[in-house]
Amino acid sequence: MDEFSFIDSITQKYYRQSSLIKGIGDDAAVVRPVNGFDMITASDTMVEGIHFRLTTMNPYHIGYRILGANLSDLAAMGCDPAYYMVSIVIPKNWSQKQLEEVYSGMHDHARQYQMDLIGGDTVSGNELVITVTVYGYVPKNRSRYRSYAYEGDYIFVTGHLGDSAYGLHLLLEQKKAENRDYFIRRHQMPNPRVHFAQELQSLKRLCLNDVSDGIASEANEIAQASRISLELNYSAFPIRPEIKQYSLEDQKKWVLSGGEDFELLGTVAKEDWVKVQAAADKTNTKVTNIGVVKESRNNPQVLLIQSNGQKEKLKRSGYVHL
Ligand SMILES: Nc1ncnc2c1ncn2[C@@H]1O[C@H](COP(=O)(O)OP(=O)(O)O)[C@@H](O)[C@H]1O
Ligand SMILES: Cc1ncc(C[n+]2csc(CCOP(=O)(O)OP(=O)(O)O)c2C)c(N)n1
Ligand SMILES: [Mg+2]
Ligand SMILES: [Mg+2]
Ligand SMILES: [Mg+2]
């Protein structure tokens, strides 16, 4: 199949979003945003050998996960997903079927949020590299910045931490384990918290960051951006019992800096905590209060309170590319 029939094959028969004027097929796509909304855009890349190996993910998972990583950034801005664009470098030894599976993973994930594929680029090369750019809308001035944490806020996190990194560990070590399939699925098919964040759009102020590199990293990003300190209670962290069976050192490696949880880390005024709990109930999302925000303008940092009450400075220990 040549490049042009490939593009034909991935073009949607119809589009779901009413703000789309022109999708795939011209020099660029055209969107007419609705008044009263801000447009949000984010981009993430997956590279063979860095984000996956053919032993850790099949082509369907690659598609599902790359859209998931991008959706997670949209969720962290509190936004409604609308569009995505895909730029792909395809290795010469990849079959048409493998390529179709990558797109099928993206399509299936996109359909859950009524997103449309509106463009991209196709190039051949030596290893698979896929970049997805997403677009969405948020009611004017309701974006959820990392700089929105205030002294006295409750800190919360969705879902469980460490599942994906533990799943990757089981895949790489080819280990048998209790509920192995669950952890592997959490690695291969993440569940970004889009609906939960949408449900909170009525809140005037909310600070959100998605956990892609590891909570140690994202918590520090919030502390720096908001110029406050986060005090986190390790004993309150939502960690699966299968992970808790391991030594504290192993646990922390997965839970604090394993990355790819694609959960949301947030802070909210104490009086709005009940609204966060209600949004969690409504969208079937687990949410856990894991600490409080402290004043610290001159020395923003993250402190981890151990089960014995001792406080330790939590450094930015998540995944770093360069
Ligand atoms: N190569 C780049 N060129 C321009 N902006 C970039 C580049 N890489 C990252 N960014 C921007 O830097 C910020 C942080 O990026 P990143 O750490 O990848 O965010 P996230 O972890 O949320 O995906 C974002 O605003 C992103 O758009
Ligand atoms: C084979 C393999 N080795 C290691 C990892 C772990 N890993 C790769 S990238 C990454 C961090 C998340 O990716 P990044 O591109 O930094 O996402 P972003 O923060 O930009 O959303 C992690 C934990 C993996 N997923 N697969
Ligand atoms: Mg990124
Ligand atoms: Mg992010
Ligand atoms: Mg990201």
In angstroms, the CA 190 to CA 71 distance is: 10
44 within ligand 1 shell (Cβ under 6 A): yes
- The number of the ligand 1 atom at minimal distance from the alpha carbon of 76 is 22
Q: Is 319 within any annotated ligand binding site?
A: yes
| Tens digit of each residue's pLDDT (9 = 90 or more) over 96-115 | 999 999 999 999 999 999 99
Q: Whose C-alpha lies nearest to ligand 2, atom 16? A: 213
Ligand showing the shortest atom-to-Cα distance for residue 259: 2
Domains, in order of start, for the chain: 3-139 (3.30.1330.10), 146-313 (3.90.650.10)
47 Cβ contact list (under 8 Å, min separation 6): 127, 128, 129
> What's the confidence (pLDDT) of residue 40?
98
- Per DSSP, the three-state class of 53 is coil
**Is the distance from the beta carbon of residue 259 to the nearest atom of ligand 2 less than 6 Å?**
yes
pLDDT in tens, 35-52: 999 999 999 999 999 999
261 touches ligand 1 (CB under 6 Å): no
Can you tell me the ipTM of this complex? 0.96
307 annotated ligand binder: no
Q: Phi first, then psi: give them for residue 35, nearest 5 degrees.
A: -55, 145
Ligand 1 in reach of 220 Cβ (< 6 A): no
Q: Which residues pair with 86 in a beta bridge?
A: 120, 132
Gap from CA of 177 to ligand 1 centroid (Å): 35
3-state secondary structure of 84: strand
Q: What is the pTM of this model?
A: 0.97
Taking the CA of residue 210 as reference, the ligand 1 atom at the shortest distance is 22
Beta bridge partners of 107: none
* Tokens read off for 138: 């948020």
Using the structure block, give the residue that is written with the tokens 């450094």.
315
Counting from 1 in the atom list of ligand 1, the atom nearest the Cα of 73 is 22
Q: Are strands 129-139 and 80-91 parallel, antiparallel or unpaired?
A: antiparallel
Rounded Cα gap, residues 117 and 131, in angstroms: 13
CB 172 within 8 A of CB 166: no
Instruction: State which residues of the chain have pLDDT below 50.
Output: none
- In this prediction, residue 3 carries a pLDDT of 84
What is the reported pLDDT for 4?
87
| Spatial distance between the Cα atoms of 178 and 270, rounded to a whole number of angstroms | 38
Place of tokens 């892609």: 212
Does 261 count as an annotated binding residue? no
pLDDT value of residue 318? 82
Of all atoms in ligand 1, which is nearest to the CA of residue 72? Answer: 22
Ligand 3 centroid, distance to 302 Cα (angstroms):
22
Query: Based on C-alpha coordinates, what's the Rg of the chain?
Result: 20
Cβ count near 277 (within 10 Å): 13
